[in-house]
Amino acid sequence: MKFLIIVISLLLLTIAQAQVVSEVITSKSEYEYGEPIEITYRLSNQSNTFHAYQGTSTYAVYFEDFSGISLFPTYTTTDDYRDTLWPGEYLQYTWSLDPKLIGLPPISGEQTVSISVLGVHDSVSFQAPQYRGGPMSVYFNEDLVDSASADSILAHYNIEIMRADYPSFKLEVNGYPIDSLSQAWQDNNYILEAYFSQRDMIESIDVIRTNTEQIDSRQVFRLDQNYPNPFNPSTNIPLSLDRPGQTNISVYKITGEFVYEIYDGWLGTGQHYFSFTASDLASGTYMYKVRVGDQEMVKTMTLIK
């Protein structure tokens, strides 16, 4: 009986997770050389329960790999990150990847980009040619290469030295795929390490978070980020209504547990500001949810004491 209960529980969990739908799309199926690549990740909670994520802030949203080249940051953080995707809620991230800044793609042909958002992994494939160039930082092997030898090696390539602090160099490579060039130098023991720091700083250009029913309809209000944020112990929540309506503003723990109701009543058109004081709450990340009529929006805020 205990085994049967476990099997049923796992089955129900699988069904619930299957209703959290992810999709990754690109603005084009085939890109020209050096053309910015736009990627959009959509995550929709179509289940009747919330999708909870807990992890480090570094890994809340990240590119896992690009055509087999790992983009997972090599560093870690102790910052605790928690987030909740409510039933019917929709989350979308968009990135514009400039090959000139990140030196990608490293190969020609089909490109596959893997992304993780709130612990949900998905990928997309498209066609793009190898980009020959990009920024890189190298650390030469001082046991085999002295300063003069390093200059001589770089002189053989179409490379602009952005910063030289031997044995470390920051380079702008032109005409060579930087991953292949880096590997060749490592195979020859010229360098010990190579860094492509821009790849660890890929940031989204647009984030949309709303109720799935609002995607194709006009939003009747705008919810801005609270300020200050982080805060201690008070913060302000700006809210702008395009038309009057019954409004509720409430605070929740990141786990979805109700904490406090800031306002519940009728609001007129225009800009409104609500103050929230968290003197009795512990430090951490909280959510404030605003409902105007049948439309909802949720944002997070951080209390630090």
Which domains occur in the chain, in start order? 19-129+201-207 (2.60.40.10), 133-199 (3.30.70), 218-303 (2.60.40.1930)
- CA separation (Å) from 115 to 68, 93, 203, 208? 13, 11, 12, 17
Determine contact, residues 224/100, Cβ cutoff 8 Å: no
> What is the predicted pLDDT for the residue at 75?
61
> What is the predicted pLDDT for the residue at 264?
93
> What is the predicted pLDDT for the residue at 77?
64
Nearest to 223 by CA among 286, 296, 293, 278: 296
Instruction: Please name the residues in contact with 137: beta carbons below 8 A apart, sequence gap of 6 or more.
Output: 168, 169, 170, 171, 194, 195, 196, 197
- CA separation (Å) from 215 to 67, 97, 117? 31, 25, 19
> Is residue 38 over pLDDT 80?
yes
This prediction has a pTM of: 0.63
pLDDT, one tens digit per residue, over 263-297 is: 999 888 888 999 999 999 999 889 899 988 878 88
Nearest to 292 by CA among 215, 217, 237, 239: 239
pLDDT, one tens digit per residue, over 15-35 is: 344 488 899 999 889 999 999
pLDDT, one tens digit per residue, over 200-239 is: 778 777 788 776 554 444 567 888 889 999 999 999 999 9
Instruction: Please name the residues in contact with 187: beta carbons below 8 A apart, sequence gap of 6 or more.
Output: none
d(C-alpha 284, C-alpha 289), whole Å: 16
Nearest to 113 by CA among 67, 144, 165, 149: 67
Residue 289: how many CA atoms within 13 Å on its side-chain side?
A: 23
Average pLDDT, the chain: 84
- What is the biggest distance separating any 2 CA atoms in the chain, rounded to whole angstroms? 75
* Structural tokens at position 150: 């390093």
d(C-alpha 304, C-alpha 157), whole Å: 51
Determine contact, residues 72/243, Cβ cutoff 8 Å: no
- CA separation (Å) from 130 to 3, 29, 82, 109? 52, 15, 37, 8
| Beta-strand pair 133-140/191-195 | antiparallel
